[in-house]
Structure 1
């Protein structure tokens, strides 16, 4: 696996159906290296600390391969990396093969897999269509949150080198499916 793009966003206020929504989901690729800190990425806006940022979800990674699936549903969007609010767009991030606790060296940082991302209404705001939230729940394309065990800079082209494998733990897809089942009941 390798980083295809690094993305950050600013705090943005959006008028959504007459209500002002404050969000940091509008992330865009940057050319420079980004600094992964213990609870966040330096320079990246986090507007809802209950759902984003913090030790267990300091970095959000999403697979470039998943983009092709979503482009069929939303062909008229102006697609660029960071569309799902991810900080790291990774060439081939497979939630069915990555386990909670797996650990990777990437750039100067060391990252540990913690959990899948659960979609919220701000993903709908980003796509200008709330259907994406339900569609996102129906797929195993959740992306992955990482804990930063060792802080440092990462940039496009940096490789993920696995330094710890936790095959006895659940995969991210298994955890996501459990959450999806709970949300239905």
Structure 2
């Protein structure tokens, strides 16, 4: 029998669509993105935030093909991985890095649940709201630009520290500090399993550039 797991919501973050400068073929270019997220509810200031069927109220998406809509309404990311990114970016940029919640582009920064124990179809009960785990996050070139490191996409896929998207089943208000209860689904494919499949396919040049 699979036992329910628990966690905690540490932060809720939103972002507005704006220009993101990227490096492509040695030439800077501008694309639109809302990957820059700011925490609006956290443990120091646990404001109540409205969660709709399309995600956190006030959050925006520039490309609905890769984020947003009903099946990718919320991007959740484990806080346990922040130490990895702080160490990596400090080493690569030669500057001290201490990332704030939302820095990976996530809406929900959580603790207690990881890609290895979260499966597609699992239900997350957070506060009074209910969510379904849909799929992993597949990083693109915008993630490299956001992190200021051209190897960020590769690092996310190789580490498996990708996070996952949620569908909102029950809407309402939510605040940081809320407990998370995981109710297992069919448990056929974990987020880690999905990432392993992505790693096998990710040898295309455009993914790693």
Aligned pairs for 1:35-54 (under 5 A) are 35-54=50-69
Aligned length: 184
- Return the alpha-carbon distance in structure 1 between the equivalents of residues 111 and 158 of structure 2: 22
Matched residue SS, 1:179: helix
Aligned 8 A contact 2:86 2:98 in 1: no
> Which residue number corresponds to residue 21 of structure 1?
31
* Structure 1 residues 55 and 20: CA distance shift in structure 2, 3 A: same
Aligned to 1:55: 70
- Supply the distance in 1 between the matched residues of 2:187 and 2:39 (Cα, whole angstroms): 35
Greater Rg by CA: 2
1:95-131 deviation line (CA, Å, top 9, x unaligned): 1011111102112320011111001111111111121
1:137-152 paired onto structure 2 within 5 Å? 137-152=157-172
* Structure 2 contact 157–198 (Cα < 8 Å) conserved: no
Counterpart Cα distance in 2 of 1:168 and 1:127: 32
What 5-or-longer segments of structure 1 have no aligned partner?
none
Give me the CA root mean square deviation. 1.5
Cα–Cα, structure 1 residues 184 and 15, in superposed 2: closer, same or farther, change >3 Å? Answer: closer
Would the aligned equivalents of 1:93 and 1:143 in 2 still touch at CA under 8 Å?
Answer: no
TM-score calculated relative to the size of structure 1 = 0.93
TM-score, normalised to structure 2's length? 0.82
Q: Who is 1:70 aligned against?
A: 85
Equivalent residues of 1:6, 1:33 under 8 A apart: no
